[in-house]
Amino acid sequence: MPLIEINFDGLVGPSHNYAGLSLGNLAATGNAGLTSRPREAALEGVEKMRANLRLGLTQGLLPPHDRPDDRWLAALATDYASAPSHLKAQALSASPMWAANAATVSPAPDAVDGLCHLTVANLVTMAHRSHEWPETLAQLRLAFADPAFLVHPPVPAPFGDEGAANHMRLCERHGEPGVEIFVYGESGGPFPARQRREASEAVARAHRLDPARTIFAQQSVDAIAAGAFHNDVVAVANERVLFAHELAFEDKAALYADIAAKAPWVEIVEVPAHRVSLADAIQSYLFNAQLVTLPDGTMALILPGEARGNAAVWSWLGEMIAGNGPIRRLEVVDVRQSMRNGGGPACLRLRVVCDPATVDPRFLVDEAKLDRIAGVIEAHWPEEIAIAEIGDPALLDRIRTARRALLDTLGLIELIDR
């Protein structure tokens, strides 16, 4: 079977809450302290996956991690009952839902050894995410146990790596050799630049990429300072198209020249800053959309409802679709619970180009499996979590019971002990 792109969505976990842990993520910090709705959030994610299936896309799933993370707390010489409030919140975070940060993926056609490589992100910049990688590694090594894949452990600290959220791939078709672009940060004004160039270079070496088809580009300092904590908040690529904000990159001219030299068939769709400001792009998550190729070969942009609600963004998109550009269709999904914590449609998925027959089928979904997942969510996910409840033992029991019920339904109960 030819190689195709599969979107593996992170399912929103039952501990989803608004603790405001992510410095530089304006939505997360701006909504800190609000009451979250984990059941609603997870069901929004299920509906997003259903929408992808109905577009003819192949869809996968990554289940939520064990929360609270008692192993991480034990390494800090404490437990949940005794931990200070900030460690409680960090241990309970449902942030693995944003699967774009799970790993960086290089499909087999790009690698010298002909394998599909995945390197788990270390996420060391943020404490609440720094303890995700062991369970992510366990999941990915289970899902991609076939010899067609090689799953690598994370790049060591202190070189921050945030995974596919700072990585783009351009190719004429998904199954053909591509040009991989690693976007790193040097400075972000008041906010940390989360992706280090050293980490990107290490991943490229581990993935056995051809240097002649690999690009390293610096993310704009202004973009990070405006709240674009990952590159995928200001740029997204798919096959022959790079869709980016005018101010996404520190040296746009050099990057575009490099792309033209290595991939002359690429079409760059740039949104001008005078039409859509960085503030509007970040508020609407215009670029944190899924840019996908449909079965008929055309491209669609899967956008959050907030993009339609922003007048400048929706006006520009309307003009783009009315033209003769490569993006021909807009699809709007409701992921407002994720958006309030700073993650749009693209944050929720990890793209893997491979033969679906080589993937553990327990990690792939169809409508019937999504029906079963939705049933578990409706039965077990908390309806609401107020910040004051974070230390409630009854809530912790319910969170763990919910996850176990999901893993049992998926046939992945071995992940309980990861």
What DSSP line would sit under 162-180, residue for residue?
A: -GGGGEEEEESSTTS-EEE
| Ramachandran angles phi, psi of 251, nearest 5° | -125, 80
Prediction pTM value: 0.96
What is the predicted pLDDT for the residue at 55? 98
Specify whether the CB–CB gap between 180 and 214 falls below 8 A. yes
Which has the minimum average pLDDT: 47-51, 186-190, 347-351?
Answer: 186-190
Least confident range from 25-29, 190-194, 321-325, 354-358: namely 25-29
Mean pLDDT of 299-322: 97
pLDDT given for residue 25 in this prediction: 81
Distances (CA, A) of 81 to 13, 21, 168, 385: 21, 20, 42, 18
Whether 1 shows a pLDDT value over 70: the answer reads no
Round to whole Å and give the CA distance between 235 and 245.
6
Q: What is the pLDDT of residues 207-225, one digit of tens each?
A: 999 999 999 999 999 999 9
Catalytic residues: 162, 230, 347
For residue range 164-174, list pLDDT tens digits in order: 999 999 999 99
Number of domains into which the chain is organized: 1
User: Residue 306 is part of which domain span?
Assistant: 4-416
Q: What is the CATH number of the domain that holds 119?
A: 3.75.10.20
What type of residue sits at position 275? Answer: R
**53's tokens:** 């299936």
Integer Cα distance of 416 and 70 in angstroms = 13
**Mean pLDDT highest for which of 24-28, 183-187, 388-392?**
183-187
CB 102, CB 140: distance < 8 Å: yes
The dihedral sign for the CA sequence 359, 361, 363, 368? positive
pLDDT tens, residue by residue, 94-151: 999 999 999 999 999 999 999 999 999 999 999 999 999 999 999 999 999 999 999 9
* Sequence-distant (≥ 6) Cβ neighbours of residue 319 within 8 angstroms: none
**More confident of the two residues 27 and 195:** 195
Please give the pLDDT value at position 23. 80
pLDDT tens per residue across span 68-84? 999 999 999 999 999 99
Exposure string for 107-123, b = 16+ CB within 10 A, e = fewer: bbbbbeeebbbbbbbbb
**What average pLDDT does the segment 253-262 reach?**
98
Q: Which residues of 247-262 are buried (b: 16+ CB within 10 A; e: fewer)?
A: bbbbebeebbebbeeb
* Cis omega (within 30 of 0) for bond into 68: yes
| pLDDT-above-70 percentage for the chain | 99
Structure tokens at 31: 């909504």
